[in-house]
Chain A
């Protein structure tokens, strides 16, 4: 099962908006609206930021938003802040072989 493709790094200045892409196939990202995004600080536990493509859990800043087009999902961070500097992973439900999840390769977000 191949991992979802994410850019290795994305950077932006405070206040700017950045977008992280997550590209899969019609068997995962394109086939289901079950894409979620996780933020992970070094040495810390991942935290869900977006689920079901575009839904924010309670407590997550509305500066984080998700979308999907075809086989590519995206996470946009608006009004970039220093605290947003972390690793971000996408994941999707997939049924290509047996029901399972496939994770993205991860993106390091740097706030300049």
Chain B
């Protein structure tokens, strides 16, 4: 059973860069049937899609975050990475890594999520 585990610093200072990793275990990171996504949920709020990366390397980002986001796949480490620059308090959230079924565009496997607070 494929599992996802997010990791990274729980506290980031304003204007700095947030970097998270998602380790994929129990399955292949490379497949034509699925790709990877990052989502977040601010305290007490709903879910927000950040972006997606296909195994081809193609990426798609939420337009509201596009200028600050980079998502990539490292097959040698079985990891999917998220980088968000120039963070502010508005980026405080639980960040989720997900496996996305490509044909139907839905998230069938989620990591447990990692909480990131932006504060000085």
- Residues of A at under 8 Å CB distance from B? 1, 3, 32, 34, 36, 38, 45-48, 51-52, 55, 57, 89, 91, 93, 97-106
- B30-63 residues with Cβ-Cβ distance < 8 A to A are 37, 46-49, 52, 60-63
Q: Are B47 and A89 in contact (CB under 8 A)?
A: yes
Q: In the complex, how many angstroms separate the beta carbon of B65 from the nearest chain A beta carbon?
A: 10
Residue A102 contacts which of B49, B101, B107, B113 (CB distance < 8 angstroms)? B49
- A36–B104 CA distance with the chains assembled, in angstroms: 9
Q: Are B46 and A34 in contact (CB under 8 A)?
A: no
Residue B47 contacts which of A55, A99, A103 (CB distance < 8 angstroms)? A103
- A43–B107 CA distance with the chains assembled, in angstroms: 18
- A106–B61 CA distance with the chains assembled, in angstroms: 22
Q: Are B104 and A51 in contact (CB under 8 A)?
A: yes
Q: Which residues in B have their C-beta under 8 angstroms from that of A51?
A: 101, 104, 106, 108
If A36-B106, A51-B104, A93-B105 touch, does A45 touch B96 (CB 8 Å cutoff)? yes
- Residues of B at under 8 Å CB distance from A? 37, 46-49, 52, 60-64, 96, 101, 104-108, 110-113
Q: Which residues in A have their C-beta under 8 angstroms from that of B112?
A: 45
Residue A98 contacts which of B37, B60, B96, B105 (CB distance < 8 angstroms)? B60
Q: Which of A34, A45, A48, A98 has the most CB of B within 10 A?
A: A45
**CB<8 Å pairs between A and B, sample of 22:** A1-B62, A1-B64, A38-B107, A45-B110, A45-B111, A45-B112, A48-B108, A51-B101, A51-B108, A52-B106, A98-B60, A98-B61, A98-B63, A99-B60, A100-B49, A100-B61, A100-B62, A103-B46, A103-B48, A104-B46, A105-B46, A106-B47
